[in-house]
């Protein structure tokens, strides 16, 4: 426990992301499906037992988690939940329903740059837009369907449109087949939505930093004209920021 490393665990619906930090540097990370005890055992073998650990989850109950994190027994374990100390001020009117990923994202963005306001755009299952001021005040943002969700919705809620899985190639604006039209509508629709939201925020404050994260961010990042900062590990970084704040 003298080694000073800290651990963050982000338990999602399908995957668990784990990162180990030494000071501010991420020294090891993993993304796994199912039980993650084996990964934790390897981390302990390679780096020692962490001083403390932050756990964020959207699934798994406390008993399951405590069994899974048995390899780091001895570390100080904190769960990200309502009432935990935060480095920012939250003005969200229903904090009990605020997603842990959104909260971690704004904490991470604020910690990285406190000179400008930040708009975090998370291209995950849903596309989440969250704004935090340079003073560390978070009021909220917006949520819309993500890339895969939009493809699935077209099939589910119509009788004729087939399902197409997202691919790496970005579609042309004019689709010349049903597949091309769907791909254009979904992906160019997202692109124009994001551009429009960014423009609205920059009308409010032209010094706003745009921070992109989430699994699908790389598909849209180079299509955006605004200066942006890509932070694929923003949620994990934000969890570490919250952990540090509670370790003081």
Residues labelled catalytic = 101
Cα separation, 46 vs 71, whole angstroms: 12
Contact indicator for 186, 194 with CB cutoff of 8 Å = no
Cα separation, 229 vs 47, whole angstroms: 30
- Token duo for residue 222: 């180079």
Sheet holding 76-79, edge to edge: 25-32, 16-22, 5-11, 52-57, 76-79
Nearest to 164 by CA among 151, 174, 173: 151
Cα separation, 80 vs 104, whole angstroms: 9
Cα separation, 15 vs 38, whole angstroms: 14
For residue 5, the cross-strand partners are 22
Using CB atoms within 10 A of its CB, is residue 151 exposed (0-12), middle (13-18) or buried (19+)?
Answer: buried
Using CB atoms within 10 A of its CB, is residue 139 exposed (0-12), middle (13-18) or buried (19+)?
Answer: middle
- Token duo for residue 126: 């849903």
The DSSP element (H or E) to which 122 belongs, if any, is strand 118-123
């Amino acid at each position: 426990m003298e080694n000073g490393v800290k651990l963050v665990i982000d338990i999602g619906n399908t995957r668990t992301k784990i990162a180990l930090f030494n000071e501010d540097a991420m020294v090891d990370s993993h993304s796994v499906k199912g039980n993650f005890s084996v990964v934790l055992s390897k981390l302990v073998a390679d780096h020692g037992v962490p001083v403390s650990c932050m756990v964020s989850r959207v699934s798994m109950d406390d008993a399951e988690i405590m069994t899974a994190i048995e390899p780091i027994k001895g570390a100080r374990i904190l769960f990200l939940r309502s009432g935990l100390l935060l480095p920012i001020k939250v003005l969200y009117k229903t904090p009990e329903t605020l997603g842990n990923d959104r909260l971690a994202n704004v904490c991470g963005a604020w910690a990285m740059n406190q000179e400008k306001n930040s708009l975090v755009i998370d291209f995950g299952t849903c596309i989440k837009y969250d704004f935090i001021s340079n003073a560390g005040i978070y009021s909220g943002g917006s949520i819309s369907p993500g890339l895969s969700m939009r493809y699935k919705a077209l099939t589910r809620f119509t009788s004729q449109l087939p399902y197409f899985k997202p691919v790496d190639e970005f579609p042309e604006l004019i689709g010349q087949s049903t597949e091309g039209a769907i791909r254009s509508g979904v992906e160019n629709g997202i692109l124009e939505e994001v551009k429009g939201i960014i423009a609205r925020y920059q009308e409010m404050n032209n010094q706003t930093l745009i921070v992109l994260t989430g699994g699908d961010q790389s598909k849209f990042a180079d299509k955006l004209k605004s200066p942006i900062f890509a932070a694929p590990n923003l949620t994990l970084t934000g969890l570490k920021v919250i952990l540090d704040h509670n370790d003081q």
